Chain A
């Protein structure tokens, strides 16, 4: 396994310059994700236009995998409905834990497939998605999730 396969250019780029990073005011829903293993914290805010994710931004501190994954996620789910975003979560989850059959059509998110070879790091990549799922589920409330 090569490190370059984990830290692909897309990942390094989104770590260096995370997209959709910062506060979102006003927001319709939000959630906080914590990975106690490495101390990663992620605050996610979402604004809806009817059922569509009109805007989404995140803040917090984390490793390169967790930061890049959150950045890539916000780009991917913007404009999607709740159901579409959750469907994407399922596909990313399979990409991170099973195989590459979902990689096609995932666009830049496919860059996360290298994480699969590093089981200790899967939680880093999935933290933002778990946080998104709880934000979409919270119907306005700000909730907290943990990967432990």
Chain B
């Protein structure tokens, strides 16, 4: 899309109407209208999601998959209905490929322990990148300790970009798995996912993509991306906490042993032998987060009612506006300047520690994230202990970014 087409698209986006669907956006914080710029940590929920969860809790709650009574059947239909929505949302091939988990972290641990652990031998390699969230580092380190495999880390450059050719050059005969973020939570960098997935596939390397920061900002199509596993969390996608999705290619999931044992993941149990349930239930031991899955389904319905093309153009315009407005502030350095970025800005302000900045902005009703963003190797790379991060959703406005910029300037005065 060229610039004028983009401008036309976002001009047609009715941000006030969208804001009206999110009850929390009309509240006050310390006497100021809430300015919520911490969407990368967790997005807010539209009334439709709240209502879907409320309706389930009031009218349909029962355990699923195991009752012949009306409530159990209704709850089962709602829970499985949410799975069907995810099949379409991700363009998966079947509902066997959608596993409900607690979130991205659990999805990655599931793949590490159930897919990778049984096949890894000492000296095998797991390849990740330098910009990963701790959730896409630590499970692999634990796996290395368990198996004697080696963790190989592909570098980033000074802009926070990952170069596909550098990653490809690290794919060797012992590389068993490539795991990487679709979008960096600390920098906003969008990774070349299709190319990386294709390069891995050509070498017989299985891929896992941490999509936690991507799904709220772009369409993710499993067939187009061509990865083997894709993980994300519901609460960053305007849904509830405690629910997330692991997409896996059916042929791989089929071969994997269950991760956790318990109810719902079995067909028959005797003390001699237990027969495991079919996909996807094999990986959903115990009573799942039923209301969470229903809420996530409602969030997807909500998203699909939006003009997503206009919403994404609006987000892109917010990113450009924020980059300009913050870039003008003396002493402020933007960390992460990749050419392809999702709608977030990480930054450091000379003389103002991010933690102090977070407290000062909060007094103005402005919520941002401060800290290492669970990406300590990224902080180490840019030689900062922490950054401040403003991360946007399509319900944010240009005025909110102006408020942010003005408040940062005031904080600088306080510490000058």
A15 touches B359 (CB 8 A): no
Separation of A62 and B30 alpha carbons in the complex (Å): 26
A12 touches B414 (CB 8 A): yes
CB distance from B371 to the nearest CB of A (A): 6
Interface size of B in residues (CB-CB distance below 8 Å): 17
Separation of A12 and B353 alpha carbons in the complex (Å): 12
Separation of A65 and B414 alpha carbons in the complex (Å): 13
A37 sits at the interface (CB 8 A): yes
B355 touches A38 (CB 8 A): yes
How many inter-chain residue pairs (CB < 8 Å) link A and B?
A: 47
Q: Which residues does chain B contribute within 8 Å of A12, judged by CB atoms?
A: 414-415
B385 touches A64 (CB 8 A): no
B385 touches A7 (CB 8 A): no
A61 touches B415 (CB 8 A): no
B25 sits at the interface (CB 8 A): no
A64 touches B415 (CB 8 A): yes
Chain A: interface size category: 20 to 34
A6 sits at the interface (CB 8 A): yes
Contact A62 to B353, CB < 8 A, known contacts A37-B371, A38-B371, A38-B386: yes
Contact A121 to B371, CB < 8 A, known contacts A7-B414, A15-B415, A39-B386: no
Contact among B359, B371, B372 for A6, CB-based, below 8 A: B359
Contact among A37, A61, A62, A121 for B359, CB-based, below 8 A: A121
B391 sits at the interface (CB 8 A): no
Of chain B, the residue at the smallest CB distance from A16 is: B415
Contact A65 to B356, CB < 8 A, known contacts A15-B415, A38-B370, A39-B371: yes
B372 touches A39 (CB 8 A): yes
A40 touches B385 (CB 8 A): yes
CB distance from A135 to the nearest CB of B (A): 22
A38 touches B354 (CB 8 A): yes
CB distance from A58 to the nearest CB of B (A): 16
Q: Mark B375-388, 1 if CB is under 8 A from A, else 0.
A: 01001000001100
B402 sits at the interface (CB 8 A): no
Q: Which residues does chain B contribute within 8 Å of A62, judged by CB atoms?
A: 353
Of chain B, the residue at the smallest CB distance from A37 is: B371
B356 touches A64 (CB 8 A): yes
CB distance from B98 to the nearest CB of A (A): 34
Q: Which residues does chain B contribute within 8 Å of A64, judged by CB atoms?
A: 353, 356, 415
Q: Which residues does chain A contribute within 8 Å of B363, judged by CB atoms?
A: 1, 3
Contact A63 to B353, CB < 8 A, known contacts A6-B359, A121-B359: yes
B358-416 contacts to A (CB < 8 Å): 359-360, 363, 370-372, 376, 379, 385-386, 414-415
A90-112 contacts to B (CB < 8 Å): none
Q: Which residues does chain B contribute within 8 Å of A6, judged by CB atoms?
A: 359
A21-58 contacts to B (CB < 8 Å): 37-41
Contact A124 to B385, CB < 8 A, known contacts A39-B372, A64-B415: no
Of chain A, the residue at the smallest CB distance from B352 is: A64
A118 touches B359 (CB 8 A): yes
Separation of A124 and B371 alpha carbons in the complex (Å): 13
Contact among A1, A39, A65 for B385, CB-based, below 8 A: A39
B251-274 contacts to A (CB < 8 Å): none
Separation of A118 and B355 alpha carbons in the complex (Å): 12
Q: Which residues does chain A contribute within 8 Å of B354, judged by CB atoms?
A: 38, 63
B379 touches A39 (CB 8 A): yes
Of chain B, the residue at the smallest CB distance from A40 is: B385
Q: Mark B27-48, 1 if CB is under 8 A from A, else 0.
A: 0001000000000000000000
Contact among A37, A41, A61, A63 for B356, CB-based, below 8 A: A63
Most buried by B among A6, A7, A38, A65: A38
Q: Which residues does chain A contribute within 8 Å of B371, judged by CB atoms?
A: 37-39
CB distance from A14 to the nearest CB of B (A): 12
CB distance from B365 to the nearest CB of A (A): 13
Of chain A, the residue at the smallest CB distance from B384 is: A39
A58-81 contacts to B (CB < 8 Å): 61-65
Most buried by A among B30, B355, B363, B371: B355
Most buried by A among B354, B379, B386: B386
CB distance from A124 to the nearest CB of B (A): 7
Separation of A38 and B388 alpha carbons in the complex (Å): 10
CB distance from A68 to the nearest CB of B (A): 10
B355 touches A124 (CB 8 A): yes
Q: Which residues does chain A contribute within 8 Å of B379, judged by CB atoms?
A: 39
Q: Which residues does chain A contribute within 8 Å of B414, judged by CB atoms?
A: 3, 7, 12
13 A-B interface contacts by CB (under 8 A): A1-B30, A1-B363, A3-B359, A3-B414, A7-B356, A38-B355, A38-B386, A39-B372, A40-B355, A40-B385, A41-B385, A63-B353, A64-B356
Sample of 7 more A-B contacts, CB < 8 Å, known A39-B371, A39-B379, A61-B385: A3-B414, A7-B356, A7-B360, A38-B354, A41-B385, A63-B354, A121-B359
Q: Shortest 4 CB-CB distances between A and B: which pairs? A: A39-B385, A63-B353, A63-B355, A38-B355
Contact surface of A with B, Cβ cutoff 8 Å = 1, 3, 6-7, 12, 15-16, 37-41, 61-65, 118, 120-121, 124
